[in-house]
Amino acid sequence: MAAEIFCNRWTALVLRELLCGTTRFNDLRRGVPRMSPTLLSKRLKELEEAGVIAATPTGQPGVMDYKPTAAGEDLRPVIMSLGFWGQRWVESTLSLKNLDPALLMWDMRRNLQPMPLPPRRTTINFIYPEMRPDRKSWWLVVDGEKVDLCLTDPGYDVDLYVTCPLRAMTAVWMGIAKLGSEVEAGRIKVTGDKSIARSMQQWLGLSPFAQGERAVP
């Protein structure tokens, strides 16, 4: 019965998003972009019926808050172990295929550490030149503890530009490559505020599995 609940396609990824703090349907869609809205609704209903999550009305028409119950929280070690297993054993060349800038930037937004940044609104523009025009440029806007992700220009002065292939930034985010090495090699170019550039290793949001060791082939 536990396998029937947990092993349905996409369920582990939906639970990952919920355990990472995502509570709204549209935000869940951004965290699992290849999952159809219809199937996401179905999985959320199934998890609610199984007692793994609870849905609470927000007061806005048709908008619910989804949060793990005690049973859902008990699945946290399972989800984390699955991620660390993948980091250790899934071949990195396979991990770096079919990359999705929206998924990468969404997770970077979630894990970004505002503390090393200046105590003012900071705008960082990530540019992936090989992407099509509507997915090439992404902005992270940090204001205090709030971090927003924008796919259209928010209209603020940009403090830092980060230009690189999507593969290079994804490799850093996954812990497959080191930021300093990629910058030194010229694969990642950083221009703008020098103090923000110097602290990039501290504020950049990496995958929670980036510290996991990879198995020797």
Sign of CA dihedral 205, 207, 212, 214: negative
- On the question of pLDDT at 15 being above 70, the answer is yes
Provide the 3-class DSSP secondary structure of residue 87.
helix
**Taking the model in full, what pTM does it have?**
0.83
pLDDT at 95 over 70: no
What pLDDT does 176 receive?
Answer: 87
Nearest alpha carbon to residue 97 among 11, 174, 159: 174
Query: Domains of the chain: which residue ranges?
Result: 2-89, 93-203
List helix spans (H) across 50-133. 70-73, 76-89, 92-95, 101-111
CATH code 3.90.700.10 for 93-203: no
Cβ pair 39, 108 in contact under 8 A = no
Model confidence at 126: pLDDT above 80: yes
Show Cβ contacts of residue 99 under 8 Å, excluding neighbours closer than 6 positions: 166, 167, 170
Q: Which of 3-7, 179-183, 186-190 has the lowest mean pLDDT?
A: 3-7
pLDDT, tens digit (0-9, with 9 covering 90-100), for 25-77:
999 998 898 899 999 999 999 999 999 999 999 989 889 999 999 999 999 99
The predicted structure's pLDDT at residue 90: 79
* Averaged pLDDT of the chain: 92
**Which range among 42-51, 194-203, 208-217 shows the weakest confidence by mean pLDDT?**
208-217
Least confident range of 71-75, 99-103, 158-162, 164-168: 99-103
Q: What's the CATH code, domain 2-89?
A: 1.10.10.10
Closest residue by Cα to residue 30 from 82, 81, 106: 106
Please say if the pLDDT value at position 98 is more than 80.
no
